[in-house]
Amino acid sequence: MTGQTDFALFLDFDGTLVEIAPRPDAVRVEPALVPALERLRDRLGGALAIVTGRPVAVIDDFLAPARFDVAGLHGVERRVGEAVTGGRPEDHPALRARVPRLQALAADLDGVLIEDKGASVAVHWRLANPDDAGRAETVAKDIAAELAGAYRLQLGKAVGEIVPASATKGHAIRAFLENPPYAGRRAVFLGDDRTDELAFASVNEDGGVSVRVGPGETVAPKRLADPAAVRALLYAWAEGAPMEVSGLPEA
């Protein structure tokens, strides 16, 4: 694919590239998505990355056989090319020590899932009844409070994730922009959740463009309706349509 742009494109995964599923392992990747992302990455001179709460290895599984640059675990781990930094569970002993108790506290809550990501841990309550969902959120808040200072609770859509306090998607995007092929480009970030709002703010502050996917209050100036609208835009760009964000709907 020929043609260049001054964009560096950053894409959330769940709720942005794919529809959110009841369980994290149940999402489905549209067959046309991966080859379109590969063509779009070529058009961008390599400046395309996935920025997600998922581990890098999980994104690799979903988008196989392609391998993209990824900021995983809200920026705890990051891969550019073949170089991976961060994300080792053994670097988080205080968090690891509390995972068994978190699992025990959630064991009696119907429909609550503990997703242990090694360097972070997520409590999902999408399938829980309202009472158990409320208890699950309280459990997540209590464990996060015990780790206050070093970790924080990142709330999203029916999920609370305990992550290192220094890890945000905004920091991850800024780290990408410090090095080729991202350096000197304008960041464009698409995301759908409360977990993305801090990144929207930092992208806006740095002169980039943030795009909220779906409804809800947002600091992003632009909005797309749903993941299907995101994929339609990316497919068009991958096929050579002008890469402009000024014409996207206002948020």
Choosing from 12, 14, 192, 193, the catalytic residue is: 12
Residue 217's contacts (CB-CB under 8 Å, 6 or more residues apart) are none
Burial grade of 46 (CB within 10 A; 0-12, 13-18, 19 or more): middle
Task: Determine how many CB atoms are found less than 10 A away from the CB of residue 193.
Answer: 21
Active-site annotation holds for 12: yes
Q: Any alpha helices (H) in 154-213, and if so which ranges? A: 169-176, 194-205
CB of 173 closer than 8 Å to CB of 10? yes
Going from the C-alpha of 245 to that of each of 1, 26, 146, 173, 237, the distances in angstroms are 20, 31, 43, 18, 11
Helix (H) or strand (E) holding 41: helix 33-43
Going from the C-alpha of 3 to that of each of 7, 40, 179, 238, 246, the distances in angstroms are 12, 10, 21, 11, 19
Helix (H) or strand (E) holding 32: none
Query: Would you please indicate which residues are annotated as catalytic (active-site) residues?
Result: 12
